[in-house]
Structure 1
Amino acid sequence: MEELRFAGLDAVIILSAYAVLMIVIGWLAGRGKKVGKSVSSYYLAGRDLGIITLFFTLFATQYSGNTVVGYAPQAYREGFSWLQSVPFFTLIIGIYLLFAPRLYAIAKKKKFVTPTDWISYRFNSKRVTILAILLMLWGLANYLLEQLVAIGHAVSGLTGGTIPYEIAVIGFIIVMLTYEWLGGMKAVAITDAVQGSLLFVGVILLLAGAFALTGGGLTDLTENIAAVDPERIGVPDLTTNINWISMILLTGFGAAVYPHAVQRIYSSRSERTLKRSLARMAWMPPFTAGFVLIIGIIGIQLYPGLSVPESEQLVGILANDVANLNTFFYWAMIILFGAIVGAIVSTADSVLLSFSSMISNDVYGKYINKSAPDERKVKVGKFVGVILVALLLWVAWNPPGTLFQIFVLKFEILVQVAPAFILGLYWKRLSSTAVFWGMLVGATIAGVMTLIGHETAFGIHGGVYGLAVNFMICVAGSLMVPTSQDYKRKVEKMTTIDAQQ
């Protein structure tokens, strides 16, 4: 391998330019506006995201820079069986379309700010709301940890270690907090649009460069892998196939109820804007997850025998080798280099913003100081967000697993709130008691399986077992509890779109 070309002054200049750009965007987004005075303006961009901005912020939510940095190594380790990443991203859009338009119509009428505003409104139960808050905060904390680890790997790998992992994480956390505090959701959405478009272009160029390194097409690639490592190209066994289905369900339902994704539903300018953005999102899985899969497969041929820690640096190693091809690819990798880091930071700030909103509006505003003005709520959310980042920094120095393992861990628990949204929006008989016990038992099953080291059993994730039991408790429990006609009429009025218009 030739000497790395991204090391030294070039890397510092590139990263500094992206950092300054994001801070300028934050300043412009908040300039002349009372961003920190209202929870709606700060956390939901005034509910005025247009189709382009909404599309890209949804794109960045679903495909962060970690999709490139974390999924390519997973494809390297698993081979073609990682093809599952394409359908599980597709299912996420299907789940969105199942509940997002109806939720948006209700949220607009009732001025929801956080995901648990819906749960409080629908079930009118303090214990259901508190449990949902805890499960969502757990998912957000894990997701933020995932992004912090990804920032360190991306910068360290792409600069050949010139910028150390720890310095990378701390530096971009400061940048993230700065522009988020300046512009709130508006700044986050605009940076998402910038970084998302650059990331998409960068991935295409990385894929082109990777093929140039192999000197052949996809057919030659598969033939070479079949000769050296046939297991990664063979037909998956039964357990792997079952695990595919499990992963698709876990991710499809879990990612659709990301708290920051739900808040983007609330932030849409109109229901038509939301539907059009989601329709465009449906085309993206083959061109994002599919391209990243091929990049990981190419890595099997180019860098055989990498250990798990070494494979986590796969994208950085590949990008540096592509940069060594010629001047065009050098500048192409500069685009990718900044875009990956920027996209990861954009996702991290979305997660932190959502976490802060739930602390400020749901915990502080509903249970600690109900009379607090919006400005104080926003300040509390910012302060607690800084504390969370400090705690996660300590964990990020010694991450508990690979990026993919952290990715799965957040879904195991977060997915348990899905029935409260999907069933709650459509089934008027669903009771708060059944929802509470469904979430609690489902989360307990997933948590216990994770703690004892059995994240899967017979190829099925603990979170999927928990979700299945969760749905059964919700349905059976609601059918067993007598429901008055008044209650049914009340819920029907709450969940019928026509009643909100």
Structure 2
Amino acid sequence: MDDETMDAQLAFAGADAIIILCLYAAAMILIGWLCGRGKGLGRSVSEYYLAGRNLGVITLFFTLYATQYSGNTVVGYAPQAYREGFSWLQSIPFFTVIIGIYLLFAPRLYAVGKKRGFVTPTDWISQRFHSRAVTALAIVLMLWGLANYLLEQLVAIGHAVSGLTGGAIPYGWAVIAFIVVMLVYEWLGGMRAVAITDAMQGIILMVGIVIMLVGALALTGGGITDLTASIAENEPEKIGVPDTLTSINWLSMLVIVGFGAAMYPHAIQRIYSSRSERILKRSLARMTWMPFITSGLVFVVGIICIDLYPGLDVSASEELVGMLANDVASLNPFFYWTMVILFGAVVGAIVSTADSVLLSFSSMISHDIYGKLIRPAASDRQKVLVGKITGIVLIALLLWIAWNPPGTLYQIFVLKFEILVQVAPAFVLGLYWRRLSSTAVFWGMLVGAAVAAVMTLSGHSTFLGVHGGTYGLLLNFGICVVGSWLRPPSAESQRATATLTESATPPARG
């Protein structure tokens, strides 16, 4: 990194940024304390992990928003747009596809979960397929996805705080400090605290991204037309029409991200947390506009940075958003304070996503593994305690990995979907097709995950532009369909499935 870039980073350092971060941390802890007062969080699994199944439309919308658009969007996607150019336009539609996949199964799953008292995603799998093997494999795949996602957020916290303070707070110390904050307010307030902090961060994040874009345009000194002309002259490969292989890769990403993100266990638990099916549908309907407001604007910011900061390598480009915030902050006092507050919100949103993931991970360990397999007679208080202890152990392990992160945020982002996406047929097909058998689901998940893992670990994560996870998912669906036709479940099993899903009918109007 050259001296000019370093100077730009240091220009944003100072007591103001640290004060804002401290205020955010204090606010989140206060919210956790207020949400936990008198709620019996140590006694009720439903209250601690699902906020009493009582999230309203505004809180549910913003907690879905802050979960879906976090560190990997603001801190990670702008650098990816910088490196790839206009071909990263795919980051906008695949967030829309995610909402489409949710609408395929979320309302129906909510109705079943409400009736049966589901707490974790694998409650559905265990009651639908009555197979310990299927349930165990689904737990492993989901925990893998959650661990990768949490690792991504820890790395993002370090980059965000380091960029905000110009290195005054080092990467490692930033991760440690906000892990402590996250654990404290999550322990105090559970899902209710997580959802309310999500709402607070989501509002600030949306406003801040718009202001950052305005500031970036001011730095260019010209309009979008002049910008694209400059990129076409200096780096034409980033503005050309994508070739066939890139277009195929786009389609593969739409499949793997659309199905994979909809399978986030913490997102599925937000489905269970909704106050009603109507509120769930209204929240999802509002989410369809968010790709254009969030990832679309972040994409434009990344494209602008191609002209503002030419020639950055992969490592330097990972700090791109912090560099831009520093330069925008130097324009005038208004931009200065909005950038400080924005980056505080970015850090807060990353932490909010991380605590959602940690809460879901803990719930699956305590409810599915400890509560069902190890000690079925355990009380809710004991399950919650086991979940909290497990969270600390997981954080300690991931902290060790995050200290020397294994790749860019985007690489970590792709890795989790390769495995997590393989549970999709169990939800998408299982909710509608009574003939789907547990044997076919097990072998579909296992073969799909194996194909994705082998391709990723061998260094050939794509073939002919298609990701290993997409190949695995296609094989997975094929095995589920063909296997279920050849060896369908018994008539008794199909009747039990009909009974399980009979409440998932369209609600009466009115």
Same fold per TM (> 0.5)?
Answer: yes
In 1, Cα distance between equivalents of 2:296 and 2:223: 16
The reply to whether residue 71 of structure 1 matches residue 77 of structure 2 is: yes
2:380 alignment partner AA: D
Q: After TM superposition, list the pairs within 5 Å mapping 1:148-187 onto structure 2.
A: 148-187=154-193
2:360 alignment partner AA: S
Give CA-to-partner distance per residue, 1:137-158, whole Å, 9 cap, x none: 0000000000000000001012
2:252 alignment partner AA: S
Q: CA deviation at 1:6?
A: 2.6
Q: CA deviation at 1:482?
A: 4.2
TM-score, with structure 2 as normaliser: 0.97
In 1, Cα distance between equivalents of 2:372 and 2:495: 27
In 1, Cα distance between equivalents of 2:379 and 2:495: 34
Task: Quote the residue 1:244 is aligned against.
Answer: 250
In 2, Cα distance between equivalents of 1:485 and 1:144: 42
Give the unaligned 5+ runs of structure 1: none
Q: After TM superposition, list the pairs within 5 Å mapping 1:51-70 onto structure 2.
A: 51-70=57-76
The reply to whether residue 344 of structure 1 matches residue 344 of structure 2 is: no
In 2, Cα distance between equivalents of 1:401 and 1:343: 22
2:167 alignment partner AA: G
Give the unaligned 5+ runs of structure 2: none
Is the alpha carbon distance of 1:379 and 1:274 closer, same or farther for their aligned partners in structure 2, counting shifts above 3 Å?
same
Give CA-to-partner distance per residue, 1:303-337, whole Å, 9 cap, x none: 00001000000000000000000011001101211
1:28 alignment partner, one of 25, 28, 34: 34
SS of residue paired to 1:147: helix
Q: CA deviation at 1:490?
A: 2.1
Task: Quote the residue 1:333 is aligned against.
Answer: 339
2:373 alignment partner, one of 367, 379, 399: 367
Q: After TM superposition, list the pairs within 5 Å mapping 1:310-325 onto structure 2.
A: 310-325=316-331
The reply to whether residue 85 of structure 1 matches residue 100 of structure 2 is: no
In 1, Cα distance between equivalents of 2:328 and 2:502: 54
Aligned alpha-carbon RMSD (Å): 1.2
1:32 alignment partner AA: G
Identity across matched positions, percent:
73
Give CA-to-partner distance per residue, 1:436-494, whole Å, 9 cap, x none: 00000000000011110011111100000000000000000000004433332221221
Is the alpha carbon distance of 1:469 and 1:88 closer, same or farther for their aligned partners in structure 2, counting shifts above 3 Å?
same
In 1, Cα distance between equivalents of 2:349 and 2:504: 38
Task: Quote the residue 1:202 is aligned against.
Answer: 208
Q: After TM superposition, list the pairs within 5 Å mapping 1:194-343 onto structure 2.
A: 194-343=200-349
TM-score, with structure 1 as normaliser: 0.99
Give CA-to-partner distance per residue, 1:111-139, whole Å, 9 cap, x none: 00000000001000000000000000000
In 2, Cα distance between equivalents of 1:304 and 1:499: 55
In 1, Cα distance between equivalents of 2:493 and 2:123: 20
Q: CA deviation at 1:220?
A: 1.0
SS of residue paired to 2:453: helix
Task: Quote the residue 2:453 is aligned against.
Answer: 447
When structure 1 is superposed on structure 2, of 490-499 and 220-229 the one drifting more is: 490-499
Divergent runs of 4+, >4 A: 498-501
Task: Quote the residue 1:416 is aligned against.
Answer: 422
2:373 alignment partner AA: Y
Q: CA deviation at 1:8?
A: 2.5
Give CA-to-partner distance per residue, 1:273-328, whole Å, 9 cap, x none: 00000000011111111000000001100000001000000000000000000011
The reply to whether residue 135 of structure 1 matches residue 141 of structure 2 is: yes
Is the alpha carbon distance of 1:433 and 1:227 closer, same or farther for their aligned partners in structure 2, counting shifts above 3 Å?
same
In 2, Cα distance between equivalents of 1:484 and 1:311: 56
In 2, Cα distance between equivalents of 1:64 and 1:352: 15
When structure 1 is superposed on structure 2, of 380-389 and 488-497 the one drifting more is: 488-497
In 2, Cα distance between equivalents of 1:316 and 1:225: 22
Task: Quote the residue 2:117 is aligned against.
Answer: 111
The reply to whether residue 122 of structure 1 matches residue 150 of structure 2 is: no
In 1, Cα distance between equivalents of 2:490 and 2:211: 61
When structure 1 is superposed on structure 2, of 130-139 and 28-37 the one drifting more is: 28-37
SS of residue paired to 2:161: helix
In 2, Cα distance between equivalents of 1:474 and 1:172: 42
Contact kept, 8 Å, 2:160 with 2:346, in 1: the verdict is yes
Task: Quote the residue 1:464 is aligned against.
Answer: 470
Q: CA deviation at 1:31?
A: 1.1
In 1, Cα distance between equivalents of 2:139 and 2:332: 51
Q: CA deviation at 1:497?
A: 2.8
1:492 alignment partner AA: A
Q: CA deviation at 1:498?
A: 5.4
